[in-house]
Amino acid sequence: MDHPSSEIVSERKISFGIIAGEASGDILGAGLIRSLRKRYPNARFAGIGGEEMIAEGFHSLVPMERLSVMGLVEVLGRIRELFSIRARLLDYFFTTPPDVVIGIDSPDFTLAIERRCREAGILSVHYVSPSVWAWRQKRIFKIAKSVNLMLTLFPFEARFYEEHQVPVTFVGHPLADLIPMEPDTLAMRGSLGLEANAPVLAVLPGSRSGEVERLGTLFLEASRWIQEKRPDLQLVIPCVNREREKQVRDLVEKLEVKLPVTIVRGRSRDVMAASDVVLLASGTATLEAMLLKKPMVVGYRLSGISYALLSKLVKVPYVALPNLLAKRQLVPELLQDAATAENLGAAVLERLENTEERDRLRAAFTELHATLRQGADEKAAQAVSELVEGGSS
């Protein structure tokens, strides 16, 4: 497909301030820098970024890991340092003003900096929309004051910003550019040591300890329920690191019936590519499963209080990205009380055995993949370039 032009726009020394606070942002930042450098060969890039961005010639004022904080308690414990980092960044941007400041995700940290920069006359861009379309929608007014341009990964996000008169460009999702339209299932099975002709269920209960604690046993019990009906089923669980691997092994050992299960460290995308069906927690993994054209069943449980609060706050009908993108339920979402071992197992079994449904899903997922395959790095760089050249404020 045609992607935006990447011809040199200017030989002048444009300066870009970029702030990325986590690994996913570092990857996006590195791709953006590569595409911007094609347009501005003499550009300077500085702010906060990780190894991927630094490898592209980025100057990071602070190690990115200092921003990678999750959880309220952890943030409170580091609040003084985070304020200090923000002050240092602002001092740097005000002393040597860049042509544009780009915050990548991490909205609680980056949007405040973007707003201060915009108030000081520096163009500001935010890359990756917060979930403002789903909950706490009044944040849109703060965002409108903070940015000259919002870059979104999904088209439904762009529509929300357009409705609120916030300048926006839908750039597509980098994963859609990276993942091939036709996954090689047999090759992935071979690389993982799985039998080529026996069905494979990929189980992904989440990457955080709390998620694995809440969902791991539930998903394993659902898998056991399925294996009673389909004893030929191969069960594969990818774990993000050594700690999650130990946690999953402990859960498997606690089950009364020992399951034949392959546990893999990392390689979650390969595991999904090798599968016939994916049983997973809601989150970005649902997007990857969709791009890999895999039928999936989404299950999730929260504490009763958290679920009650979120049910009142969330303004969208679905939690799984394929359903949000399609604006209809393509994949089952079994949440809270509906997320039982038998319900999950029955939904997985249906998708294992209903080939017509799998064909329909593949067609729908292929169409959605094409929608998201926009050449995100190039399209984002083009939108930033047009903003810089236009000089909007």
Q: Do 139 and 274 have their domain in common?
A: no
Is 179 within a domain? no
Is 10 within a domain? no
The answer on pLDDT for 168 being more than 90 is yes
> What pLDDT shows up at residue 82?
87
Is 158 within a domain? yes
Give the pLDDT mean for 307-320.
66
Is 326 within a domain? yes
User: Beta partners for 200?
Assistant: 234
CA distance 118 to 115: 5
Is 3 within a domain? no
Q: How far apart are the first and last CA of the chain?
A: 32
Is 5 within a domain? no
> What pLDDT shows up at residue 73?
43
Is 196 within a domain? yes
Share of the chain above pLDDT 90, in %: 73
Q: Do 22 and 72 have their domain in common?
A: yes
Q: Do 118 and 267 have their domain in common?
A: no
Instruction: Residue 295: give the domain boundaries.
Output: 185-372
CA distance 206 to 214: 9
Give the pLDDT mean for 275-301.
94
Q: Do 316 and 215 have their domain in common?
A: yes
Q: Do 324 and 190 have their domain in common?
A: yes
pTM for this predicted structure: 0.87
pLDDT in tens, 10-59: 777 899 999 998 888 999 999 999 999 999 999 999 999 999 999 999 99
CB atoms within 10 A of CB 94: 12
Q: How many CA atoms lie within 13 A of 109 on its CB side?
A: 30
Contact (CB, 8 A) for 279 and 344: yes
Q: Do 295 and 282 have their domain in common?
A: yes
> What pLDDT shows up at residue 1?
47
Q: Do 129 and 28 have their domain in common?
A: yes
Sheet holding 123-127, edge to edge: 59-60, 44-48, 15-20, 100-104, 123-127, 149-152, 168-170
CA distance 179 to 258: 34
Contacts 24+ apart (CB under 8 A), 249-255: 251/212, 251/216, 251/217, 251/220, 252/220, 254/217, 255/217, 255/220, 255/221, 255/224
Q: Do 221 and 350 have their domain in common?
A: yes
pLDDT in tens, 197-218: 999 999 999 888 888 888 999 9
Total count of domains within the chain: 2
Identify how many contiguous H helices and E strands the chain contains and give both numbers: 18, 13
Give the pLDDT mean for 333-355.
94
Give the pLDDT mean for 283-304.
90
Q: Do 227 and 262 have their domain in common?
A: yes
Please give the DSSP secondary-structure letter assigned to residue 64: G
For 330, list phi and psi in degrees, rounded to 5: -85, -35
Is 317 within a domain? yes
Q: Do 104 and 232 have their domain in common?
A: no
The enclosing domain of 199 has a CATH number of 3.40.50.2000
> What pLDDT shows up at residue 300?
87
CA 331, 336, 338, 340: dihedral to nearest 10 degrees?
100
Q: Do 150 and 217 have their domain in common?
A: no
Contact (CB, 8 A) for 305 and 222: no
Q: Do 385 and 356 have their domain in common?
A: no
> What pLDDT shows up at residue 187?
96
